[in-house]
Amino acid sequence: MSSFLQSNLLLFIVQYSYFSYTIPSSLFPSSCQLQEQFHINRMQKSGDVILGGLFPVHFFSSISDLLFTSQPEQPTCHSFNVQGFRLAQTMAFAVDEINNNSSLLPNVTLGYTLYDNCAELGIGFRGALSLVSGQEEQIILHNTCVGNPPVVGIVGDSSSTRSIAISSVLGLYRVPMVSYFATCSCLSDRQKYPSFFRTIPSDAFQVQAMIQILKHFGWTWAGLLITDDDYGFHAARSLQSEGAVLKEFVSLNWLIHVLCLYLSGVQKNNDIELILKRQNVTGLQWLASEGWTATAAVLQTPELMPYLGGTLGIAIRRGEIPGLREFLLQIRPDLLDSNSYGKTMVNEFWEFTFQCRFAPAPAGWVEGGGAICTGQEDLENVNTEFLDISNLRPEYNVYKAVYALAYSLDDMLQCKPGRGPFSGHSCATLQSLELWELVYYLERVNFTTPFGDQVSFDENGDVVPIYDVMNWLWLPDGSTTVQNVGEVKGSAFKGEEILLDEDKIFWNFNSKKPVQSVCSESCPPGTHMVRKKGEPKCCFDCIPCSDGKVSNISSKYSLGCTSCPEDFWSNPQRDHCVPKKTEFLSYHEPLGICLTATSLLGACTCAVVLGIFIYHHKTPIVRANNSELSFQVLLSLKLCFLCSLLFIGRPRLWTCQLRHAAFGISFVLCVSCILVKTMVVLAVFKASKPGGGTSLKWFGAMQQRGTVLCLASIQAAICTAWLVSASPSPHKNTQYHNDMIVYECAVGSPFGFAVLLGYIGMLAVLSFLIAFLVRNLPDSFNEAKLITFSMLIFCAVWVAFVPVYISSPGNYADAVEAFAILASSFGLLITLFGPKCYIILLKPELNTKKAIMGRAPFPWRVAEYGGAYRGQRGSWPQGGVTCPSLPSLPMSSCLPLSAPPQSPTHAGPWGKGVYSVSFCLSPRWLSVE
């Protein structure tokens, strides 16, 4: 086909060039003479500007053999095509309507020259060349070639193959050509066809429209039947390139329930009928291209509708042309002169419509009962599709093509000199029109038809695409009809858009629902497709989504699952994301409830003990060793119990910042008070030695308060520096569990946290060491022993806390820290204040000076270093007495020291009272009776 086309093109170009240039220069030096005239059927109307047209008024042609022994005869055409004739008349109507429109092309009269191409490539090509070269037998040459070209543009052709051939040549001279029926996507190549335009959508969009229908109903497994021409081949390649999964009909397996038809004309209808009847193909959903939808009315018969009923087809956009029917009714043979162009076509139409013949009739016509045409027959009284304007599709495209040329001419004539688009801002004129100038305006034309459709061309010369979706309906009475059930539109902004009224669609199945045609069923939610190796795109396996990913929409083309957002996780079905479970030490869970109850219990216990001490503040056991520090210890312990509540509940910024600061400062206050108490005991011990009385002056009430405040201020400074430099903050931790968010407080600076704990530990160890040194002072109630034991518990708790805290994940770390706070706080509370409360409440007889000071009559018994010493009643010398010595341990003198204020003043022998003596280097309070 391609080689034949190329050879014919070369022949025409050579002939045209030869007769245009060689012969005139040799034979006619001052004129050009037309060597051959094209006598095929044509219609013509004069005007200031002429538009050309090519229409298939006949189906077939007869061309004599090219023996080149005599002059070739003109081709003849037969089999009158009523629709082709109506297309030509539609162009004539559009030209008349434009001439009657004062607002479009004023003062310019349009004319036309329309040729019958007889549905033949050679005839159509000769007609196109005749249009652009003109039919004048002789042209007088002038010094300059000026004036209008024979035609300024051509409406046609109807076939893609003919349009390719014609536009390949006319495009060299930039002759505008606007087709109303050529759909091949190859014609969108502006390099090959620079002046080609069309008012029918390209096959590229037709493919998109059909793919939209396939996708709309989920048909991913379909068969394909095409014609072996440009129309079919380009469509098949486009479908495959767009990813449609199609099988050739010859290898069709009956798992396929949808068959796509790309047939360009009625010549294939017999093949379809043969296939349907021989193979008894039922249960198929047919999806037809516009080429078959428009010409397959012969298949819509009661015999074939059981197979073809329910067919969905793409059809050219239907439009309305007001006044066209009235114009068609004006056609009458008797109104035309015998020499008028178009007389032959009108007569053929008249004979075809009324089944008559004009005189002289063919031999045997009258004898066979045939009627003679008078030309007076009435068109309105005959049932003919020629007057049926309810389904104007290609006619509507012809109408738009004529108006596109007219509007581009009008835009050209509206140009203001000095503001034109051409060199030097010049404008084009009819007197010196170059056709490429009209192409410039045609590329930019934009208007709206009376039917409401916008007409404009893109950079490839393609019109804004739109198709109607048609459905072959099989009515209950056995009749058939084709109804419009939707449309497919295309735009540069939204892409393809399909609108279907599914309630109107007739499905030729018992279910009355769309058939399913897939290689693999849609993947259910929660899975994704994995293509089978070597299989088409629609053949795949469904694999469950991995954790944290979902697929919540059944999809044929989703190659993966979607990851859930950060705070979400996939549900067990993997079909949607759900919020991740959250974990923190909550007030509502058992652990949080226990810690909260324990914290409140500890705080209340501190309050009760404080109340007991306040009530019994004048008793010796409360006053012993600075009762003010005891009150401060109780208050700080209460804060320690309460600060553990900050570790319970969802972490917030303020709780994260406050919890460690409150914990650190509260415990430093408590341990500082204990340290000061211990240091006071040590100072008293030193003051009991000879020359050590000055040590007590450094531990007065003000000094004790100042020491506690100073030690607490250091911790406050540590906390402030920590919060300023790297403040603790809430943190969503997903390292422990992917499907769970563990809310915790990030410490910000581990170094700051370590310094805070280290400072508390340092004070605790110091208190422990000092208390351990003075634990054996000779009191009946020695508080140093209690401090030693409490600090031992405190240190043990926090030493164990560090490794447990580090190894505890999530909210358990908060629970461990809260537990450590409560355990150490209870340890301090019980060991320091438990014995005192026991004596105050249950043993009040021990809450006396005598019991507290450890009174004993002479002779007395004192245990020291495992030895027993007995003092003797009597008068002691003022200088003192010498204590008996143990062989294993030298003893020092036992010297009487200053007596307590409550003791009587003595002169001479020792009387009753309480004395402080240094007994073998250990201070004792001795009671003397």
Same domain, 538 and 471: no
Whether residue 919 lies inside any domain: the answer is no
Q: What is the CATH number of the domain that holds 277?
A: 3.40.50.2300
Q: Is residue 460 part of a domain?
A: no
State residue 307's pLDDT score: 82
Considering the domain architecture, whether residues 134 and 243 belong to the same structural domain is answered as no
Q: Residue range 302-321: average pLDDT?
A: 86
> Range with the lowest mean pLDDT among 42-56, 222-236, 362-376, 470-484?
222-236
Residue 37, pLDDT > 60, answer yes
In sign, the C-alpha dihedral spanning 821, 826, 831, 837 is positive
E strand or H helix at 197, and its extent? strand 196-198
User: What is the count of structural domains for the chain?
Assistant: 4
Which of 283, 320, 289 lies closest to 225, judged by CA? 289
Of residues 503 and 237, the one with the higher pLDDT is 503
Angle formed by the axes of helices 811-842 and 653-687, nearest 10° = 40
Do residues 121 and 161 lie in contact, with contact meaning Cβ atoms separated by under 8 Å? Answer: yes
Distance CA 472, CA 216 (A): 18
Task: Report H helices in 726-775.
Answer: 750-773
**DSSP symbols for 546-601:** PTTEE--S--SS--SPEEPPTTEEE-TTSSSEEEPEEE---TTSHHHHHHHHHHHH
Residue 484 covered by a domain: yes
Residue 801 to residues 264, 796, 821, 829, Cα–Cα distance (Å)? 87, 8, 10, 19
Asked whether residue 410 falls in the same domain as residue 470, the answer is: no
866 within domain boundaries: no
- Residue 394 vs residues 98, 115, 280, 315: alpha-carbon distances, Å: 19, 17, 34, 10
User: Do 88 and 147 belong together in one domain?
Assistant: yes
Residues 6 or more apart whose CB falls under 8 angstroms from that of 400 comprise 180, 199, 319, 449, 453, 455, 463
Residue 454, CB half-sphere, CA atoms under 13 Å: how many?
10
What is the DSSP track for 649-714? SS--HHHHHHHHHHHHHHHHHHHHHHHHHHHHHHHHHHHTSTT-GGGGGGGSHHHHHHHHHHHHHH
pLDDT score recorded for residue 139: 62
CA nearest neighbour of 897 among 857, 869, 928, 858: 928
Q: Are residues 676 and 800 in the same domain?
A: yes
Residues 182 and 224 occupy one common structural domain: no
Mark whether 207 and 188 lie in a shared domain: no
185, 276: one domain: no
How confident is residue 145, by pLDDT bands cut at 50, 70 and 90?
low
- Assess whether 194 and 153 both reside in one domain: yes
Helix (H, G, I), strand (E, B) or coil at 298: helix
Quick one: pLDDT at residue 727? 83
CB distance 610 to 649 below 8 Å:
no
For 876, other C-beta atoms within 10 Å of its C-beta total 19
Single out the residue in 805, 830, 848 at which a domain terminates. 848
Instruction: Please give the backbone phi and psi of residue 245, each rounded to the nearest 5 degrees, phi first.
Output: -95, 105
Distance (Å, rounded) from C-alpha 263 to C-alpha 266?
A: 8
Bridge-partner residues for 513, per DSSP? none
Cα separation of 562 and 855, whole Å?
86
**Do 689 and 916 contact (CB within 8 A), yes or no?**
no
Q: Where does 774-913 have alpha helices with state H?
A: 783-807, 811-842, 849-853
Query: Is the model more confident about 352 or about 277?
Result: 352
Give the pLDDT confidence of 401-444 residue by residue, as tens digits: 999 999 999 999 999 988 999 988 999 988 888 899 999 999 99
Could you tell me how far CA 56 lies from the centroid of its own chain? 51
Alpha carbon separation from 817 to 252, 823, 859 (Å, rounded):
74, 10, 55
- Per residue, the 3-state secondary structure of 8-21, as one string, reads HHHHHHHHHHHHHH
764 domain residue, yes or no: yes
What is the distance between the alpha carbons of residues 255 and 517, in angstroms, rounded to a whole number? Answer: 7
User: Could you report the per-residue pLDDT of 65-119, keeping only the tens digit for each?
Assistant: 667 777 777 788 889 999 999 999 999 999 999 999 999 999 899 999 999 999 9
* The last residue of a domain, from among 830, 848, 866: 848
Distance CA(294)–CA(313), nearest Å, equals 9
Give the model's pLDDT for residue 192.
94
Within a domain: residue 691?
Answer: no
Interval 876-909: pLDDT, tens: 333 333 333 333 333 333 333 333 434 343 333 3
> What CATH number should be reported for the domain holding residue 597?
1.20.1070.10
The partner residues of 306 in beta bridges, in order of sequence, read none
Q: Do 568 and 649 belong to one domain? A: no
Q: Is 38's pLDDT higher than 90? A: no
Mean pLDDT of 137-164: 77
Q: Is residue 121 a contact partner of residue 9, using CB atoms and an 8 Å limit?
A: no
Residues 131, 115 contacting (CB under 8 angstroms): yes
Tell me: pLDDT of 325 over 70.
Answer: yes
Residues 495 and 423 in one domain: no
Cα(506)–Cα(497) distance, rounded to whole angstroms? 22
Minimal CA–CA distance to 723: which of 811, 676, 660, 803?
Answer: 660
480 & 348 share domain = no
In angstroms, the CA 551 to CA 522 distance is 12
What is d(CA 196, CA 163) in angstroms, rounded to the nearest whole number? 9
Residue 508 to residue 284: CA distance in whole angstroms: 9
Check residue 23 and give its pLDDT: 39
Give residue 12's pLDDT. Answer: 44
* Residue closest to 733 by CA, chosen among 810, 814, 806: 810
Q: Does residue 583 lie in a domain region?
A: no
CA atoms of 532 and 523, how far apart (whole Å): 14
Using the predicted structure, report yes or no on whether residue 258 has a pLDDT greater than 80: yes
With cut-offs at 50, 70 and 90, classify the pLDDT of residue 558.
low
Q: Identify the band that residue 496 occupies on the pLDDT scale cut at 50, 70 and 90.
A: confident
Q: Tell me the average pLDDT of the chain.
A: 78
When pLDDT is averaged across residues 520-529 and rounded to a whole number, the result is 81
Residue 192 domain-assigned (yes or no): yes
pLDDT tens-digit map of 751-766: 888 888 889 888 888 8
Domain stops at, among 819, 848, 877: 848
CB 172 within 8 A of CB 165: no
* pLDDT tens per residue across span 800-859: 887 888 777 767 788 888 888 888 888 888 888 888 888 888 888 887 776 665 543 333
3-state secondary structure of 728: coil
Q: Of 270 and 282, which is predicted with more confidence? A: 282
Q: Are the C-beta atoms of residues 331 and 349 closer than 8 Å to each other? A: yes
Q: Give me the pLDDT at residue 831, please.
A: 86
Pairing of strands 58-62, 540-544: unpaired
In a 3-state reduction of DSSP, which class is residue 351?
helix
The predicted structure's pLDDT at residue 833: 86
The Cα-based distances of 666 to 98, 679, 794 in angstroms read 98, 20, 14
Give the range of the structural domain holding residue 228, as residue numbers without chain letter.
203-317+465-504
